């Protein structure tokens, strides 16, 4: 249905949107760059990307919750500078008011619009009915399960008869079965046109979810966030993840995410031709037990050192937010190579996977010093210092030149964990001191 | 209980006319209305400074006096709530306001509460000449100061911690600022605000009693109330009267605890924001059960709910559809900020100049030194008292806290004792000192912490009862005995709770020093050396320069201790010893 309407005026449009946040002083941190995006009549669109890629920020800009630093958002051709009536939203953690009953929660949006009591009640009851919450009108959110709570979130968003529904990772706080159930109910509502909705836009980091629901998937790049590319999904509904065509589409998404498009661009979860990273690189949040597990899986006889990324995600039950940091670290350390949706183990990676505990530490130490400049820098500083000690604040302020405050401390924590594992340096939590000495 | 509940539910379903609970509740409500009416009539009696108000020691008058005392408390509470809702919300919503309001409250918090009374009473008397309203206002203001700062700070912090998604949802669904305040900010903060209010009221009983008998400019004003009754009883050395007063206060606090505190806390359970069903016992209250099950009250509650809803959705405070964005309003705002900043800096300069002018002109360096010395004496007392109380109450608190049944009984008793105004018990200590000719400087000291010590006890109980069972079992399994067990497990686990209790206890002791360092019985007057005694002495004389100096000194000392001892300790405890 989207093909026919492509030529018409977009429902929601972001033109040249750019967003940067100021951190202390005059430093500016670019979060979104040159975003041009359109949502058309009758479309479900997924914004897909890793956490921290700015996709949630874009959703909030489109919702009018955040002002873009540059560029404009248009809703049916009119620029908007705040939440527009006609755009509704469903939140990741539901954002229900715990002190209000289901009915009162659903009525909230109508109350704000000044609709009188009787009409409010009638419409709220109808929405509760539609979304399958009958019988729970007087329950408080804390009495409900996660899936039921998100249903309240949907009822609250739909009761105001919105034109466009925005959803911020609406299923990520739910277990798999509940999420599947809710997704199919949502699709039902959408296809039978029981709501007045004309378009849905949602943010996700789950590739299956995007392929299952969306007519179009927008893939996001991080640092700074920008649109990497888009894919049309033309499979008819209902889609099943057992269908080979469905697996095919998932493969396409992985390939788009891991194939370099231009020379300047770093694909998600990979490093092009093992290029070296710099000191302020945003090191992935990966722990050693996980990369060890992944290498062991790769090195298993049935895999022969090479796997399809969708299979890896499937077997290890990881979503892209969990998988890509691992593949990225493996690439940084030269333990594996990722390209075109495949991951291949290197000789060093093979050696690591086959070694015993102490041997692994040695290999890891060697690669950490060689390929992670931050770890090497910390080690050098400690060696130079007369008493082989340094305050963590020094490294933190160095990282803050490159990253946000939060990311900087996350990256430092990560590198400290790696350094401790490799016994490259020691760390005293209470004093916040890094040192070369062993604890006594 | 379940049997009762079933019986009751059957009655409720069958009968359409009011039930027994209805009658009970009705009498309670009517009684309260009558009492309030009588009280309002008494308050506006004409009065001239110097005129003595007769306080009768006849115990028949005690219920009336108790009511006067209680109503002062609640009037102050209403003002505290108004202050909280306006200033704390303002500070939470506006960065500029926050920068001024929060430090101000922080400092006001360290001003001794009875100091406010000494300073403001003359002003209030001048404001309402020929009426008892002046001293009444001063007393109510003093109680207000014992409640408002604490409540406002708590409210400000919780409003700021409203989850971002809730705020976004409110914006997304176009709630106006007014709707947002009542639908999100207030409910979200309610459990915290209630606890804070109750804690403030607990401390308030002490000050309401202390502020009724005001000595100013060599005259004593006695406002009708339990505090004045006690004062007169002490002056005439009447042991029976003191006994009656203590009994009355005991009953008042029992009623307050059962009829107000517990129902409200139990009711506030529903505003707890954790969506997951948390472990532990929910607060229960028999009064709340009555109210919830009474047809009439439910009906009234429904009507009130309807009214409140109309208030929240009042049409002229509704959000307007967003039309256009005016860049010009941004510029106007910038100018307003500039003007505001300039005015603020100007006001600060004026104040600083005035302060130094005042000090240099009126106070000699020797006086300052002397007052500082007295302050250190009182600080030393507070320090010793906190240590002594800790040594006594930590072992007891841990023993109780590790035994749920014991904690279930002791916790409410400790809370009750904390609410009981300790100043009612002072005469007993004075008699003791006089009879055995003891050193005032040592033996009057415990008076300061008589009321505040309970904070250490119930915080330690709370901390000990939250030590995870598996940690205790692990300690047993490893064979950790006595001292090692305390050193490695119990002390670290209760440390954050203990620090919270100790901070409150120390604050209470500073405040109590003004009444605890000067005590009397009949014609005997015992004065200890200390800043508190100095303040009460000069308040009685009406020497405002010395009052200002000594109160300022106490304020500065409390601030210094807070910033350099308690806060670092608290932060350390929070970062290092929090179990989660």
Q: What is the pLDDT of residues A131-144, one digit of tens each?
A: 888 889 889 888 88
Name the maximum alpha-carbon separation found in chain A.
77
* Helices within B94-213 (DSSP H only): 95-110, 113-127, 133-160, 164-172, 177-180, 186-212
Ramachandran category for residue A64: left, alpha or beta (phi over 0 → left; psi -120 to 50 → alpha): left
Give the per-residue pLDDT at B368.
Answer: 85
CB contact at 8 A, A308 and A359: no
Given this structure, which CATH class describes domain B44-274? mainly alpha
Measure in Å the smallest separation between the Cα of A88 and chain B Cα atoms.
7
Question: Would you call B185 exposed, middle or buried from its count of C-beta atoms within 10 A (0-12, 13-18, 19+)?
Answer: buried
CATH no. of B363-580:
1.10.3720.10
Domain that holds residue A406: 372-435
Whose structure tokens read 């004792």?
A: B417
Q: If you ran DSSP here, which 8-state letter would residue A417 be given?
A: H
* Angstrom distance (rounded) from CA B412 to CA B198: 13
A247/A287 same-domain check? no
CATH classification at residue A311: 1.10.10.10
- Return the residue in A112, A155, A164, A173 with the most chain B beta carbons within 10 A, the one to mutate for interface testing: A112
CB contact at 8 A, B434 and B484: no
Residues from chain A contacting residue B183 (CB–CB below 8 Å): 97, 100, 108
The number of distinct structural domains making up chain A is 3
Query: Is B192's pLDDT higher than 50?
Result: yes
Give the per-residue pLDDT at A3.
Answer: 43
Give the per-residue pLDDT at B274.
Answer: 56
**Mean pLDDT for all residues in chain B:** 78
CB contact at 8 A, A40 and A199: yes
Q: Which two tokens stand for residue B187?
A: 């409910």
Interface contact B165, partner A, CB < 8 A: yes
Residue A57 located in a structural domain: yes
- Return the residue in B165, B167, B171, B172 with the most chain A beta carbons within 10 A, the one to mutate for interface testing: B172
User: B394: pLDDT confidence band, cut at 50, 70 and 90?
Assistant: very high
Dihedral angle, C-alpha A241, A242, A244, A246, nearest 10 °: -10
Closest A-chain CA to B572: A430
Q: Indicate the length of chain B as a whole number.
A: 580
Question: Would you call B9 exposed, middle or buried from its count of C-beta atoms within 10 A (0-12, 13-18, 19+)?
Answer: exposed
Query: Is A336's pLDDT higher than 60?
Result: yes
Residues from chain B contacting residue A160 (CB–CB below 8 Å): 173
Average pLDDT over residues B548-567: 83
User: A416: pLDDT confidence band, cut at 50, 70 and 90?
Assistant: very high
- The C-alpha angle with vertex B422 and arms to B420 and B426, in degrees rounded to 5, equals 145
Tell me which of A298, A319, A353 is where a domain ends: A353
CA distances from B70 to A252, B540, B580 (A): 74, 25, 41
Across the interface, do B174 and A142 touch by the CB < 8 Å criterion? no
Q: What residues form DSSP beta bridges with A433?
A: A391, A428
Which of B174, B187, B325 is facing A99, going by the closest CB pair? Answer: B187
Residues from chain B contacting residue A95 (CB–CB below 8 Å): 163, 165-166, 168-169
Residue A361 located in a structural domain: no
Q: What whole-number percentage of chain B has pLDDT above 90?
A: 6
Across the interface, do A112 and B163 touch by the CB < 8 Å criterion? no
Measure in Å the smallest separation between the Cα of B563 and chain A Cα atoms.
21
A205/A310 same-domain check? no
Long-range Cβ pairs for the range A67-72 (8 Å, 24+)? A68/A14, A68/A17, A68/A18, A68/A19, A68/A32, A69/A18, A69/A19, A69/A20, A70/A16, A70/A17, A70/A18, A70/A19, A71/A14, A71/A15, A71/A16, A71/A17, A71/A18, A71/A35, A72/A14, A72/A15, A72/A16, A72/A17
A247/A161 same-domain check? yes
Query: Is B39's pLDDT higher than 80?
Result: no
Residues from chain A contacting residue B325 (CB–CB below 8 Å): 81
Global pTM reads 0.77
Closest B-chain CA to A158: B173
Q: A204: Cβ–Cβ under 8 A, 6 or more apart, which residues?
A: A46, A47, A48, A169, A171, A172, A210
Kindly report, residue by residue over B49-76, the tens digit of the pLDDT: 556 667 777 778 888 888 888 888 889 9
Tell me the torsion sign for CA atoms A86, A87, A92, A95.
negative
ipTM of this predicted structure: 0.76
Residue A111 located in a structural domain: yes
Residues from chain B contacting residue A112 (CB–CB below 8 Å): 173-176, 179, 318-319
- Return the residue in A85, A93, A97, A166 with the most chain B beta carbons within 10 A, the one to mutate for interface testing: A97
A301/A421 same-domain check? no
Across the interface, do B173 and A109 touch by the CB < 8 Å criterion? yes
Q: Spell out the domain ranges in chain B.
A: 44-274, 327-362, 363-580
DSSP, residue by residue, A141-158: GGGS-HHHHHHHHHHHHH
Average pLDDT over residues A278-287: 84
A204/A288 same-domain check? no
* Three-state DSSP string of B262-293: HHHHHHHHHHCCCCCCCCCCCCCCHHHHHHHH
Give the per-residue pLDDT at B239.
Answer: 84
Q: Indicate the length of chain A as a whole number.
A: 440
A302/A429 same-domain check? no
Query: Going by DSSP bridges, is the β-strand pair A199-204/A43-48 parallel, antiparallel, or unpaired?
Result: parallel
Chain A to chain B Cβ contacts (< 8 Å): 86
User: B511: pLDDT confidence band, cut at 50, 70 and 90?
Assistant: confident
CB contact at 8 A, B39 and B73: no
* Angstrom distance (rounded) from CA B12 to CA B295: 8
- The C-alpha angle with vertex A74 and arms to A68 and A77, in degrees rounded to 5, equals 160
Tally of CB atoms within 10 A around B416: 18
Which of B166, B271, B272 is facing A95, going by the closest CB pair? Answer: B166
Least confidently predicted of A101-105, A355-359, B91-95: B91-95
A146/A232 same-domain check? yes
State in Å, rounded, how far the first CA of chain B is from the last one: 35
Q: How many helices (H) and strands (E) does chain A have?
A: 16, 16
A348/A419 same-domain check? no
A318/A225 same-domain check? no
CB contact at 8 A, A203 and A59: yes
Average pLDDT over residues B333-344: 79
User: A217: pLDDT confidence band, cut at 50, 70 and 90?
Assistant: very high
- The C-alpha angle with vertex A95 and arms to A94 and A99, in degrees rounded to 5, equals 115
Least confidently predicted of A3-12, A60-69, B153-162, B530-539: A3-12
* Angstrom distance (rounded) from CA A45 to CA A214: 5
In 3D, which of A324, A322, A307, A311 has the Cα closest to residue A270? A324
- Return the residue in A111, A139, A153, A158 with the most chain B beta carbons within 10 A, the one to mutate for interface testing: A111
CB contact at 8 A, B531 and B378: yes
Least confidently predicted of A42-56, B254-268, B320-334: B320-334
A193/A52 same-domain check? yes
Kindly report, residue by residue over B406-431, the tens digit of the pLDDT: 887 887 787 778 778 887 888 888 88
Which of B175, B275, B322 is facing A84, going by the closest CB pair? Answer: B322
Q: If you ran DSSP here, which 8-state letter would residue B23 be given?
A: H
* Angstrom distance (rounded) from CA A194 to CA B156: 43
Residues from chain A contacting residue B176 (CB–CB below 8 Å): 112
* Fold equal for B44-274 and B363-580: yes
CB contact at 8 A, B174 and A109: yes
* Angstrom distance (rounded) from CA B490 to CA B507: 25
Tell me the torsion sign for CA atoms A338, A340, A344, A348.
negative
Kindly report, residue by residue over A45-101, the tens digit of the pLDDT: 999 987 777 888 999 999 988 888 889 999 998 888 888 888 999 998 888 888 888
* Angstrom distance (rounded) from CA A205 to CA A49: 5
């Amino acid at each position: 249905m989207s093909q026919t309407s492509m030529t018409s005026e977009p429902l929601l449009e972001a033109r040249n949107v750019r967003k940067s946040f100021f951190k202390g002083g005059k430093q500016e941190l670019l979060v979104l760059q040159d975003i041009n995006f359109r949502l058309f009549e009758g479309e479900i669109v997924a914004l897909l990307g890793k956490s921290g890629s700015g996709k949630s920020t874009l959703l909030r800009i489109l919702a009018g919750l955040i002002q873009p630093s540059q560029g404009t958002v248009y809703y049916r051709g009119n620029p908007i500078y705040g939440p527009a009536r006609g755009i509704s939203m469903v939140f990741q953690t539901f954002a229900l008011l715990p002190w209000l009953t289901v009915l009162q929660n659903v009525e909230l949006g109508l109350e704000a619009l000044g609709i009188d009591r009787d009409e409010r009640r009638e419409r709220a009851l109808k929405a509760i009915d539609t979304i399958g919450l009958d019988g729970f009108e007087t329950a408080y959110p804390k009495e409900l399960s996660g899936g039921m709570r998100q249903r309240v979130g949907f009822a609250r968003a739909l009761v105001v008869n919105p034109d466009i529904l925005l959803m911020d990772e609406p299923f990520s706080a739910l277990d798999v079965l509940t999420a599947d159930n809710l997704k199919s109910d949502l699709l039902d509502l959408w296809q039978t046109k029981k709501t007045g909705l004309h378009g849905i836009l949602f943010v996700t980091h789950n590739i299956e979810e995007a392929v299952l629901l969306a007519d179009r998937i927008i893939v996001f790049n991080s640092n700074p966030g920008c649109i990497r590319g888009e894919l049309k999904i033309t499979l008819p509904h209902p889609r099943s993840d057992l269908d080979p065509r469905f697996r095919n589409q998932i493969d396409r998404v992985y390939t788009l995410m891991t194939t370099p498009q231009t020379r300047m661009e770093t694909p998600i979860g990979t490093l092009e031709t093992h290029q070296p990273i710099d000191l302020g690189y945003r090191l992935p949040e990966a722990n050693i037990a996980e990369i060890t597990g992944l290498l062991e899986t790769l090195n298993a006889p049935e895999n022969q050192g090479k796997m399809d990324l969708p299979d890896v995600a499937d077997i290890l039950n990881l979503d892209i937010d969990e998988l890509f940091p691992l593949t990225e670290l493996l690439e940084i350390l030269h333990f594996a190579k990722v390209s075109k949706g495949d991951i291949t183990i290197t000789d060093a990676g093979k050696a690591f996977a086959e070694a015993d505990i102490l041997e692994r530490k040695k290999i890891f130490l060697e690669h950490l010093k060689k390929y992670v400049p931050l770890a090497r820098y910390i080690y050098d500083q400690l060696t130079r210092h007369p008493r082989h000690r340094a305050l963590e604040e020094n490294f933190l302020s160095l990282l803050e030149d490159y990253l946000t405050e939060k990311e900087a401390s996350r990256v430092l924590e990560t590198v400290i964990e790696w350094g401790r594992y490799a016994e490259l340096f020691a760390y005293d939590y209470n004093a916040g001191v890094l040192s070369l000495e062993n604890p006594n | 209980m379940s049997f009762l509940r079933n019986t009751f539910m059957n009655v409720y379903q069958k009968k359409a006319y009011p039930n027994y609970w209805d009658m009970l509740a009705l009498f309670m409500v009517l009684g309260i209305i009558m009492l309030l009416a009588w009280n309002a009539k008494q308050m506006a009696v004409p009065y001239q400074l110097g005129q003595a108000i007769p306080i009768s020691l006849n115990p028949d008058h005690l219920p009336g006096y108790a009511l006067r005392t209680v109503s002062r408390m609640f009037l102050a509470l209403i003002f505290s709530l108004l202050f909280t809702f306006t200033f704390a919300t303002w500070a939470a919503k506006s960065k500029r306001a926050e920068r001024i309001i929060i430090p101000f409250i922080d400092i006001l918090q360290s001003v001794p509460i009875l100091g406010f009374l000494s300073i403001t009473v003359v002003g209030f008397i001048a404001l309402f000449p020929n009426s008892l309203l002046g001293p009444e206002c001063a007393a109510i203001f003093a109680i207000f100061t014992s409640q408002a700062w604490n409540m406002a700070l708590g409210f400000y912090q919780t409003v700021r911690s409203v989850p971002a998604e809730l705020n976004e949802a409110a914006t997304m669904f176009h709630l106006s600022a007014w709707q947002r305040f009542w639908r999100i900010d207030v409910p979200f903060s309610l459990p915290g605000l209630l606890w804070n209010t109750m804690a403030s009221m607990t401390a308030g009983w002490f000050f309401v009693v202390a502020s009724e008998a005001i000595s100013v400019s060599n005259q004593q004003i006695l406002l009708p109330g339990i505090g004045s009754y006690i004062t007169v009883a002490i002056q005439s050395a009447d042991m029976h009267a003191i006994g009656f007063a203590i009994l009355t206060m005991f009953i008042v606090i029992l009623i307050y605890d059962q009829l107000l505190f517990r129902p409200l806390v139990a009711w506030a359970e529903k505003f707890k924001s954790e969506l997951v069903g948390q472990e532990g016992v929910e607060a229960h209250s028999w009064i709340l059960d009555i109210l919830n099950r009474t047809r009439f009250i439910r009906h009234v509650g429904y009507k009130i709910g309807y009214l409140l809803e109309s208030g929240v959705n009042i049409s002229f405070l509704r959000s307007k559809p967003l039309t256009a964005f005016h860049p010009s309003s941004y510029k106007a705002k910038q100018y307003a900020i500039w003007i505001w900043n300039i005015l603020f800096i100007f006001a600060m300069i004026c104040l600083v100049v005035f302060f130094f002018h005042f000090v240099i002109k009126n106070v000699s360096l020797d006086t300052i030194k002397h007052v500082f010395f007295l302050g250190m004496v009182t600080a030393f007392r507070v320090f010793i008292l906190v240590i002594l109380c800790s040594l006594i109450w930590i072992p007891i608190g841990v023993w109780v806290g590790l035994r749920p049944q014991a904690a279930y009984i002791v916790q409410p008793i400790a809370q009750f004792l904390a609410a009981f105004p300790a100043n009612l018990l002072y005469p007993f200590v004075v008699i003791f000192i006089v009879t055995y000719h003891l050193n005032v400087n040592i033996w009057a000291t415990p008076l300061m912490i008589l009321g505040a010590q309970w904070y250490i006890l119930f915080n330690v109980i709370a901390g000990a009862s939250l030590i995870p069972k598996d940690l205790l079992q692990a300690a047993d399994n490893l064979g950790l005995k006595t001292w090692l067990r305390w050193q490695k497990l119990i002390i670290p686990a209760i440390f954050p709770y203990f620090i919270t209790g100790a901070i409150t206890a120390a604050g209470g002791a500073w405040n109590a020093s003004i009444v605890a360092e000067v005590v009397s019985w009949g014609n005997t007057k015992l004065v200890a050396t200390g800043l508190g005694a100095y303040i009460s002495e000069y308040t009685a004389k009406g020497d405002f320069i010395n009052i200002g100096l000594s109160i300022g000194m106490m304020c500065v000392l409390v601030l210094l201790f807070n910033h350099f001892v308690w806060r670092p300790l608290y932060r350390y405890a929070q970062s290092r010893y929090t179990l989660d």
